[in-house]
Amino acid sequence: MHGTDACMVLTYHSISSGAGPTNIPPEVFAMQMAVVAEQGYRSLTAAEFIAWHDGGAPVAERQLLITFDDAFRDFAERAAPILASHGLHALVFVPTAKLGGDDDWEAPDHRRALMDWDELRALQGMGVEFGSHSRTHRDLRRLEADALAVEIEGSRQDLTERLGVPVTSFAAPFGTSNDAVRAAIAPNYAIAFGTRLDLARQGRDRYDIPRLDMHYFRDRRRWRSLLEGDRRYLRRRQLLRAVRERVSGMIAKDS
C-alpha cells in the first residue's frame, strides 16, 4: 500500500479447507503471503505498528500487520512455516481459557482445535507475538463490569504470566464492542482491533482499529491489485457490507 498515512491490517482465523469465511485454505494463504513478499512488504511487530499509529515514521515504504484470531492449532501447523519461509511476522490473538480445547463458541459439528501453552511458547521462540482475545471468547457487550474485567484483565494476566512478556494488544471476540467494552480495554492495552473493513490510519480509532478480512482476497489478481494501491475492489466490498449491515439492523429493529 503506497503512502504512509494508512496501513493494512490483515485478519485470519483458521488456515484450513473448511466451509465459511473464517477458513482460508492453506494453498490460498500460501499464495497471499507469496504476493506480500513479491511486492516487497515488511510485516510489522505490534510495537512497530503502535509506534506508527501514534504518529511515528513508517518502518518501510510498504508495510502491513498480519493478525490471527483464536489461536487455532493450524496456525502452528500450516501458517507459521509459510510465514517463516517469507520472513514474515504475525500477531496471534488468544482466548486464554480455551487453549488446549476447541472453538466451542461455534457450531458443535465443525469444531477446530486450539493450540496449547507449550505450542505458544515454541512459537514465541520463533518470533510470533501474542495478544489477548479475552479468556472465554464471549460477546463482551453482554457482560456486567466484574465479568468484563475477568475477560479483559484476566486474559492479559494469563498471557503475561505464562509467556513472560508484556501484552499490548487486544481483539474483541466476534469483533463486538461498544463504549463500555472499549473503556474497559483502555487501561489494560495500548491498542485494540475490531472487524470494520478498512485500512488503519495514524491517530484514529485507537481501540477499534479496522482490519481487512482476507476471505475477500482469495483471488490473486485482486490481492495483488490492492497491494499495488488499487482500492476499488475494497471500496465495493465496504459498500456491500454497509448495505448488509443496514438491512440487518432494520430487520432486528422490526422484529
**1 found inside a domain:** no
Residue 250 lies in a domain: no
Q: Which domain holds residue 64?
A: 6-229
As for how many domains the chain has, the answer is 1
pTM: 0.95
Cell numbers found for residue 167: 501484552
Q: Is residue 109 part of a domain?
A: yes
Q: Which residues of 132-141 are buried (b: 16+ CB within 10 A; e: fewer)?
A: bbbbbbbebe
What CATH number does the domain containing 109 carry? 3.20.20.370
Residue 189 pLDDT more than 60?
Answer: yes
| pLDDT tens per residue, range 200-253 | 999 998 999 999 999 999 999 999 999 999 999 999 999 999 998 878 666 656
Q: Cell digits for 172?
A: 474483541
DSSP of 211-251? EEEGGGG-SHHHHHHHHTT--HHHHHHHHHHHHHHHHHHHH
Assigned domain for 245 exists: no
Q: 215: exposed, middle or buried (C-beta count within 10 Å: 0-12, 13-18, 19+)?
A: middle
pLDDT of residue 246: 78
Cα separation, 137 vs 124, whole angstroms:
22
pLDDT tier for residue 254 given thresholds of 50, 70 and 90: low
Query: Considering the domain boundaries, does residue 132 fall inside one?
Result: yes
Question: Is residue 76 domain-resident?
Answer: yes
The answer, yes or no, to whether residue 1 has pLDDT greater than 70, is no
Q: How far apart are CA 202 and CA 7, in angstroms?
A: 8
CA dist 152 and 50 (Å) reads: 19
Query: What pLDDT, on a 0 to 100 scale, did the predictor assign at position 250?
Result: 65
What angle is formed at CA 81 by the lines to CA 80 and CA 86, rounded to 5 degrees? 100
Q: Is residue 243 part of a domain?
A: no
Q: Mean per-residue pLDDT for 174-196?
A: 96
Q: Which residues pair with 42 in a beta bridge?
A: 63
Reported as a single tens digit per residue, the pLDDT across 78-113 is 999 999 999 999 999 999 999 999 999 987 778 999
pLDDT at 251: 65
- Residue 173 · residue 133 · CB < 8 Å: yes
Predicted confidence at residue 3, as pLDDT, reads 54
Residue 33 placed within a domain: yes
**Identity of residue 10:** L
- pLDDT one-digit tens code per residue, 118-174: 999 999 999 999 999 999 999 999 999 999 999 999 999 999 999 999 999 999 999
